[in-house]
Amino acid sequence: MRRDAAARLLASAALPVLQRLPPEIAHDLGLRGLRLLQGLWQPPERDGPVVEAFGKRFANPVGLAAGFDKNGDYIDALGALGFGHIEIGTVTPRPQPGNPRPRLFRLRRARALINRMGFNNRGADHVAERLRRASWQGIRGISIGKNADTPLERAAEDYITCLRTLYPVADYFAINVSSPNTPGLRRLQAAEALTGILRPLRQENLRLRQQHHKHVPLLVKISPDLELHELQDVCEILFKEGAEGVIATNSSTHIPGFEAELATRQGGGLSGAPLGQKSLEVLRLLRKGMGTSYPIISVGGLMNANDVVARLAAGADLVQLYTGFVYRGPSLLAEIHRRLNPDPRH
């Protein structure tokens, strides 16, 4: 038996056990388990198809969404599974504990999660150090946000601080203005507020580009809950202010049929299978509004290889996994690789 086959069997056997534990404990134990098995994984035999987007070359179109490895502590273990890119974070300038527990909930029958984590992370300095020490050579994205106690009118300062601290270790930045779990954050998607974030970030990015002799693109992660006119405004601002890509979408607070679940969990955002159609619709609207060449990363409700193929067919350049990976583990990534890279011998 190949070493990676043995590792996949172990990971598959562990999943039912982990899913009996409280979600946040299971998540931490699962990451530690992947690190223990790290030396057993072998890269996919056929890694492609290679993707070129916002000046970067991705070994394959499948990435891991922000929120899975918030602090960059497990990037080498996760990278060994065959992701083309991994997005760390969301990272804030200063460490913060996030919202009180419990704050992560499974909806097993719906293949969904509700989270109200609140940007719990160890801060930009910790993440910078972890990524400096990491050996994985794939594309490293970093999702950045503001600290919960930073007033909205000073949010740009927090994003700029993260940019300065993390620039040397990042391949792209995802500007997170769409999490439902930091009070008021989604108001930063409004036209004037988003402009007030992107304009100074772009200016600082140009300065850092000269200082570090490298270019790190700025992308914006948006909510699936935007009204059509709001989405149109976002598209216009992304073009005007020079954002080099968009990530669609974050979790949702408005999924029909799940209002009671969200209220019971005291709010939060829903991800997983129920989000899939909504995220796909946003992708189609973005592709129509942004044209054929503007880079789009699609995330939300990708639970199997068919979902990934559908997003790529709808115009996504890249995709990201989160809840599907929580429920299915490395077997999901292996299934996607087989679908995107069929063995010519069969």
pLDDT in tens, 160-217: 999 999 999 999 999 999 999 998 999 999 999 999 999 999 999 999 999 999 999 9
Output the pLDDT for position 269.
96
Q: Is 344 exposed, middle or buried (0-12, 13-18, 19+ CB in 10 A)?
A: exposed
Residues 91-97, mean pLDDT to the nearest whole number: 98
Strands 112-115 and 104-107: antiparallel
Task: Please indicate, yes or no, if residue 153 is contained in any of the structural domains.
Answer: yes
Q: Token pair of 308, please?
A: 């990934």
Structurally, how many domains does the chain consist of?
1
Q: How does residue 236 score in pLDDT terms, banded at 50, 70 and 90?
A: very high
Task: Please indicate, yes or no, if residue 203 is contained in any of the structural domains.
Answer: yes
Task: Please indicate, yes or no, if residue 311 is contained in any of the structural domains.
Answer: yes
Catalytic site residue 179?
yes
Task: Please indicate, yes or no, if residue 166 is contained in any of the structural domains.
Answer: yes
Task: Please indicate, yes or no, if residue 38 is contained in any of the structural domains.
Answer: no
Task: Please indicate, yes or no, if residue 234 is contained in any of the structural domains.
Answer: yes
- Nearest CA to 189 out of 211, 222, 164 is that of 222
b/e code 61-75 from CB counts within 10 Å (16+ = b): bbbbbbbbbbbbbbb
Q: Report which of residues 13 and 224 the model is more confident about.
A: 224
Residues 1-27, mean pLDDT to the nearest whole number: 84
Output the pLDDT for position 3.
65
Give the active site residue among 143, 179, 279, 298. 179
Structural domain including 199 reads 48-340
* pLDDT of 344 over the 70 cut: no
Q: C-alpha angle 119/207/221, rounded to 5°?
A: 30
The kind and range of the H/E element at 246 are strand 245-248
Q: Model pTM? A: 0.96
CATH number at residue 73: 3.20.20.70
* Residue 27: other Cβ atoms inside 10 A: 16
Question: Which DSSP string do the residues of 38-49 spell out, in sequence order?
Answer: GGG----SS---
DSSP 224: T
